[in-house]
Amino acid sequence: MNYLYLLVDLGAFIVPFLFSFHPKLEFYKKWKFVFPAILISAIPFLIWDSYFTMIGVWGFTQKYLTGYHLLNLPLEEVMFFICIPYSCLFTYYCLNKLIHNDFLASAERIITGILLPILIVVGLYNSTKAYTYSTCIGLTLLLLFLKFYLKSKWLSRFYFSYMILLIPFLIVNGILTGTGLSEPVVWYNDNENIGIRLLTIPVEDVFYGMTLILLNVSIFEFMSKKNRSKGQ
């Protein structure tokens, strides 16, 4: 059981990594954008994660861990911010490459227009709950920056990709939060969230995951666009 979290990380990573070399995908050619995006995005999340672990917003059950630590976090938790973003960026890239229709192009404004006020209201209403507040406000600020300052044109494709990614998300987070286990791999202090769960998954995790992947995608897209501009 000490390797459970490690196996979850590697299980999410290995298939996308192997298919990165598929001749029709050639995702490995995008690594010069992928790994900087992952590493840059990991910095604020590791700081956030480390602080919330220190103050007891969440924590880890030791019997599922190898016992190695980095930055006051289990090594597996640090690897999470590499393995999961890699697999999500791979999925985002593949969907864009293989599906040319932008299905949510006309709905992007509506989705963003609904999402932002919900996040703001829920975040402010739960300002004393650290996980709920930080997740809602963090995602709000990121969306506002991308939508109204950068005027990102790819948000609709991100929303579509994230809808697909919610399926493996439920599987991975389900395991980590205790589905089928006697104890959760990652436990949450319910005083710091609103207490609504999708099976064993705090609902905040949906928006936490969206913030993590959206930040990775935004850096990936920025670097890709900058590279295309240089090519011109």
- For residue 227, what pLDDT is reported? 85
pLDDT value at position 231? 62
Q: Read off the pTM.
A: 0.95
CA dist., res. 4 & res. 181, Å (int): 11
The SS3 assignment for 26 reads: coil
As a whole-number percent, the residues of the chain with pLDDT over 90 amount to 94
The pairing of beta strand 58-60 with beta strand 201-202: unpaired
Cα(206)–Cα(59) distance, integer angstroms: 18
Q: Render pLDDT for 130-140 as a digit per residue (tens, 0 to 9).
A: 999 999 999 99
pLDDT tier for residue 229 given thresholds of 50, 70 and 90: confident
Residue 220 CA to residue 31 CA, distance in Å, equals: 10
Give the residue from 76, 86, 73 showing the smallest Cα distance to 41: 86
31: left (phi over 0), alpha (psi -120 to 50) or beta: alpha
**pLDDT of 56:** 96
Average pLDDT over residues 45-65: 97
Q: Give the residue-averaged pLDDT of 50-54.
A: 97
pLDDT at 232 over 70: no
Confidence bin at 44 (pLDDT 50/70/90) = very high
Residue 114 clears pLDDT 90, i.e. is over it: yes
Average pLDDT over residues 45-63: 97
Q: What are phi and psi of 17, to 5 degrees?
A: -65, -45
Quick one: pLDDT band at residue 49, thresholds 50, 70, 90? very high
User: pLDDT tens digits, residue range 188-228?
Assistant: 999 999 999 999 999 999 999 999 999 999 999 999 988 87
Crossing angle of helices 130-144 and 108-125, in 10° steps, is: 150
Write out pLDDT tens, residues 67-98.
999 988 999 999 999 999 999 999 999 999 99
pLDDT surpasses 60 at 164: yes
Q: Is the pLDDT of residue 103 over 80?
A: yes
Rg of the chain over Cα atoms, rounded to whole angstroms, equals 18
**For position 14, what pLDDT does the model report?**
97
What rounded mean pLDDT belongs to the chain? 96
